[in-house]
Structure 1
Amino acid sequence: MPEPITVTHRRYVPASHAHYAGNLVDGAYSLGLFGDVATELCIRTDGDEGLFASYDDVQFTAPVRAGDVLEVTATLVASGRRSRRIEFVSRVVCRGRPDKGESAAEALDEPIVAVTAVGTVVVPPRP
């Protein structure tokens, strides 16, 4: 297996992604970000973007809202001939504070784990 690797991205969640009352964002938003960090991980380990094959487990543990800043991490945990098993975590690291002002926000002392997942990507065979 290649040397253990973790890839991390941060993304501001714009108001245009809020679909529900309370400025809630659908869970698919984090899953899309998981695809982005998996792509970079595959590029770094295999020199190819790879293709997502499946999720084994997805847990939505806390809400994501417009105005949040998410930190999304992919960690390679197993490697087969063409498959790569990856653990994902999406954490809220900053959150809007409309109770303090229209554009108020704060960096959280303790990030909130919003979504976790385990997935498999496949890459082309090595020559």
Structure 2
Amino acid sequence: MTNSMSKATIGLSVTHRRYIPYSHAHYAGNLVDGAYVLGLFGDVATEVCIQADGDEGLFASYSDVQFLQPLRAGDVVETTATITRVGNRSRELSFVARVVCRGRADLSESAAEVLAEPLEITRATGVVVVPARQG
């Protein structure tokens, strides 16, 4: 795929969902570290690059990261990346992570609930770079 055939357009969006196992808890209260969410953002950014440019691309930088609420083991988290700017080889992405289901260990070891409204836990802005293609 050549750059002239790139599908990179502002508004292109990809969403992933993942269950957070209890083995990922690092802190009291079954809290999961913020770096875990950044790893999920990297995964969803990779798919955006594949969808837009036919290449996994490389994550270049974050210009902003905001941890708004905790991520806990037993949660189901949804991460979304959306292209907000398209350069020759760079793509600026906005990211959001939302908890859509939450474990309810207060009820029983395996209890969980679907949240009535997803809980926004992390926001970020980042830049990915895709290679120049010959063609």
TM-score (norm 2): 0.91
CA distance in 2, matches of 1:119, 1:88: 8
1:31 aligns with 2:38: yes
Aligned residues: 127
SS at match of 1:113: strand
Q: Kindly provide the amino acid, as one letter, of the partner of residue 14 in structure 2.
A: V
CA deviations over 1:69-116 (Å, ceiling 9, x no partner)? 000000001010010000000000000011111110000001111110
CA deviations over 1:42-83 (Å, ceiling 9, x no partner)? 001000000000000000000000000000000001010010
4+ runs deviating over 6 angstroms: none
Q: Percent identity among equivalent residues? A: 68
1:90 aligns with 2:97: yes
CA distance in 1, matches of 2:60, 2:72: 28
1:116 aligns with 2:106: no
1:51 aligns with 2:58: yes
Partner of 1:12: 19
Partner of 1:69: 76
Cα RMSD for the two superposed structures: 0.9
User: Unpaired segments of 5 or more residues in structure 2?
Assistant: 1-7
Correspondent of 2:106 among 99, 104, 119: 99
CA distance in 1, matches of 2:117, 2:15: 17
User: Unpaired segments of 5 or more residues in structure 1?
Assistant: none
Q: Kindly provide the amino acid, as one letter, of the partner of residue 91 in structure 2.
A: R
SS at match of 2:72: coil
CA deviations over 1:11-48 (Å, ceiling 9, x no partner)? 00001110000000000010000000000000010000
Bigger CA radius of gyration: 2
TM-score (norm 1): 0.97
SS at match of 1:19: coil
